[in-house]
């Protein structure tokens, strides 16, 4: 399976997904949108992974490439490609599927448990052996409505819509299950201004506490989900 990555900023990369792909000898390619690299032909890949970023799906004036990216994502969904969107990537998928992307009631930055719905565990093979409650890293101020025809998967206390699955093959997670200690440190360095006090905003010290163990657990769950995603 050929996997293509869309990366929006240099400090939010696909490191653990790359490791998993290489272990399976899946060819990987990239479009680094922050470098204005061109998007590939749809025939050049089988699966598309869309990473996060600090911008909004609505920031087309500041980031003109967003418009082309949205059209590209829409075409990939129409062609029946596998898609996996994380944070901004999930919001972009929701947006092209006609759902509203809007400000969340709270900024959510930190380690907070995701609670899967019973239906998600019963209906989707992605979650058939995943715990109903698991820890994940969150770093976002916006959220999305669930697109029509999608399977709603779960929530946190601060954010009702933590993800959805569309047509079995399109996965959208608001949370960062791909987090790594290095990636968290990079987020703190580049987006630290967002760490203003709030009921669901942790300090840098809290974000980094036990992050080796926490990210290892997240990446283990991610790998199990990816294994299923590739055979659906």
Give burial (CB, 10 Å; 0-12/13-18/19+) of 189.
exposed
Residue 174, pLDDT score: 99
Condensed to tens digits (0 to 9), the pLDDT of residues 2-34 reads 999 999 999 999 999 999 999 999 999 999 999
Condensed to tens digits (0 to 9), the pLDDT of residues 84-126 reads 999 999 999 999 999 999 999 999 999 999 999 999 999 999 9
Fold annotation for 3-229: Rossmann fold (3.40.50)
d(CA 26, CA 58): 33
pTM for the model:
0.98
Helix (H) or strand (E) holding 114: strand 101-116
Three-state DSSP at 8 gives coil
Domain ranges of the chain: 3-229
């Amino acid at each position: 399976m050929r996997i293509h990555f869309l990366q929006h900023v240099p400090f939010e990369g696909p490191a653990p997904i790359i490791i998993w792909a290489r272990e399976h000898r899946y060819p990987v390619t990239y479009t680094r949108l922050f470098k204005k690299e061109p998007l590939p032909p749809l025939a050049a890949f089988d699966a598309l992974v869309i990473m996060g970023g600090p911008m909004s799906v609505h920031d087309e004036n500041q980031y003109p490439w967003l418009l082309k990216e949205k059209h590209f994502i829409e075409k990939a969904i129409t062609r029946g490609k596998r898609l996996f969107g994380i944070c901004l990537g999930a919001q972009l998928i929701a947006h092209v599927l006609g759902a509203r992307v809007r400000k969340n009631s709270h900024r959510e930055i930190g380690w907070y448990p995701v609670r899967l719905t019973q239906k998600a565990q019963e209906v989707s093979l992605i979650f058939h052996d995943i715990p109903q409650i698991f820890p994940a890293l969150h770093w976002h101020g916006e959220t999305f409505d669930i697109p029509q025809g999608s399977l709603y998967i779960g929530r946190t206390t601060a954010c009702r819509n933590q993800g959805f699955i569309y047509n079995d093959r399109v996965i959208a997670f608001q949370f960062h299950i791909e987090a790594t200690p290095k990636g968290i440190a990079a987020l703190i360095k580049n987006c630290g201004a967002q760490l203003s006090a709030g009921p669901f905003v942790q300090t840098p010290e809290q974000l980094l506490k036990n992050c080796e163990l926490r990210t290892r657990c997240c990446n283990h769950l991610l790998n199990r989900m990816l294994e299923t995603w590739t055979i659906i």
